[in-house]
């Protein structure tokens, strides 16, 4: 039997959405045809800004469809090492991702992508091609809500502070005694001083923390550590956090300017495979 799928006119398309948790996450239940139509892009951008993380269960995009869908929501951002508009493979398996898998070990710890960049990416889109044999969820937390729900006295203490971020700081999470050569290689990626609290053009504020954060300007090392790790503990606590358990075909997009994320522990030799695309940043950190 032949089945014909019809897409409503653009003016009639509406999002079909389920909330995941009160302060973070939503499932989008529209069909693949509706999502690729493009007219839902503005609604999806609004929903992403509101919910932080959007899950498209078992949407089963091909690589070409994922690239096309990415473009419906903004400007496609090629990977640093390539200027082509294509997906990027994410796996810790060195056989499948030679030369990159080692760097991705830092993704197992809470972080924001591109904190060393003046213009961090707006969002990442990750689709699951193969799940892990064990573990391998992706955790997300809202750094918008983590800021919003802080006591006012604590906000007054933090707003205006500046923090240093460098990819090299994440190295010590997974390799406590790196060689000098490896440390210098990671430090060459960059180290910057940015606000601890990002005031966005919308007026909302979010925390700029994670495993690349290492020093609060003007604070001694012990106080810096208490601030950075205390805020991470707060931001990743239950009201602001959820963990997505992957199924093959799922796609997840998250707002990189207002959430942190991490891959949860899994067997690095199991060839878990994700395909990523990204949206170009639209707002400088300031």
- The average confidence (pLDDT) of the chain is 92
Q: Is residue 284 part of a domain?
A: no
Q: Is residue 286 part of a domain?
A: no
Q: Is residue 118 part of a domain?
A: yes
Residue 54 · residue 255 · CB < 8 Å: no
**CATH code, 264:** 3.60.130.10
Model confidence at 268, pLDDT cuts 50, 70, 90, reads: confident
191 beta partners = 166
Please give the residue range of the domain that contains residue 31. Answer: 16-279
Q: Mean pLDDT over residues 245-255, rounded? A: 98
pLDDT given at position 105 = 81
Which helix (H) or strand (E) is 210 found in, with range? none
Q: Helix (H, G, I), strand (E, B), or coil: what is residue 248?
A: coil
Q: Is residue 91 part of a domain?
A: yes
- The token pair at 230 is 């205390």
Q: Helix (H, G, I), strand (E, B), or coil: what is residue 130?
A: strand
Q: Which of 101-110, 150-159, 245-254, 274-283 has the lowest mean pLDDT?
A: 101-110
Residue 166 · residue 116 · CB < 8 Å: yes
14 beta partners = none
Q: Is residue 1 part of a domain?
A: no
- The token pair at 238 is 């239950």
How far is residue 188's CA from residue 176's CA, in Å, rounded to a whole number?
Answer: 18
Q: Is it the case that residue 1 has pLDDT exceeding 80?
A: no
Q: Is residue 2 part of a domain?
A: no
For the stretch 148-192, pLDDT in tens is 999 999 999 999 999 999 999 999 999 999 999 999 999 999 999
How far is residue 110's CA from residue 222's CA, in Å, rounded to a whole number?
Answer: 20
Q: What percent of the chain has pLDDT over 90?
A: 83
Residue 128 · residue 246 · CB < 8 Å: yes
Q: Is it the case that residue 2 has pLDDT exceeding 60?
A: no
For the stretch 183-234, pLDDT in tens is 999 999 999 999 999 999 999 999 999 999 999 999 999 999 999 999 999 9
Q: Is it the case that residue 21 has pLDDT exceeding 50?
A: yes
pLDDT given at position 5 = 36
For the stretch 86-138, pLDDT in tens is 899 988 877 766 666 667 788 899 999 999 998 999 999 999 999 999 999 99
pLDDT given at position 95 = 72
Q: Pairing mode, if any, of strands 53-56 and 24-28?
A: parallel
pLDDT given at position 221 = 95
Query: Domains in the chain: how many in total?
Result: 1
pLDDT given at position 71 = 97
Q: Is residue 121 part of a domain?
A: yes
User: Measuring CA to CA, how many Å separate 255 from each of 62, 121, 148?
Assistant: 22, 9, 17
Widest CA span in the chain? 71
pLDDT given at position 4 = 33
Q: Is residue 165 part of a domain?
A: yes
CA nearest 186: which of 218, 222, 214, 226? 214
């Amino acid at each position: 039997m032949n089945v014909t799928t019809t897409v409503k006119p653009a003016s009639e398309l509406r999002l079909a959405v389920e909330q995941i948790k009160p302060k973070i996450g939503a499932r989008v239940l529209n069909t693949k045809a509706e999502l690729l139509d493009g007219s839902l892009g503005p609604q999806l951008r609004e929903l992403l800004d509101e919910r932080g993380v959007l899950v498209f269960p078992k949407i089963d995009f091909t690589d070409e469809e994922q690239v096309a869908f990415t473009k419906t929501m903004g400007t496609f951002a090629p990977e640093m090492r390539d200027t082509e508009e294509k997906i990027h493979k994410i796996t810790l398996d060195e056989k499948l991702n030679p030369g990159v898998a080692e760097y991705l070990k830092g993704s197992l710890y809470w972080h924001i992508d591109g904190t060393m960049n003046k213009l961090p990416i707006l969002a990442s889109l990750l689709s699951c091609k193969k799940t892990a044999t064990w573990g391998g969820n992706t955790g997300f937390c809202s750094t918008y809500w983590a800021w919003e729900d802080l006591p006012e006295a604590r906000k007054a203490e933090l707003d205006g502070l500046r923090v240093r971020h460098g990819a090299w700081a994440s190295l010590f999470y997974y390799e406590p005694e790196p060689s000098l050569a490896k440390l210098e290689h990671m430090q060459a990626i960059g180290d910057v001083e940015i606000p601890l609290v990002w005031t966005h053009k919308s007026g909302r504020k979010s925390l700029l923390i994670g495993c690349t954060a290492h020093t609060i300007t003007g604070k001694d090392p012990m106080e810096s550590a208490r601030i950075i790790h205390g805020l991470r503990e707060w931001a990743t606590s239950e009201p602001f956090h959820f963990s997505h358990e992957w199924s093959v075909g799922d796609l997840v997009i998250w707002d990189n300017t207002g959430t942190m994320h991490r891959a949860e522990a899994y067997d690095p030799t199991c060839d878990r495979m994700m395909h990523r695309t990204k949206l170009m940043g639209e707002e400088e950190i300031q």
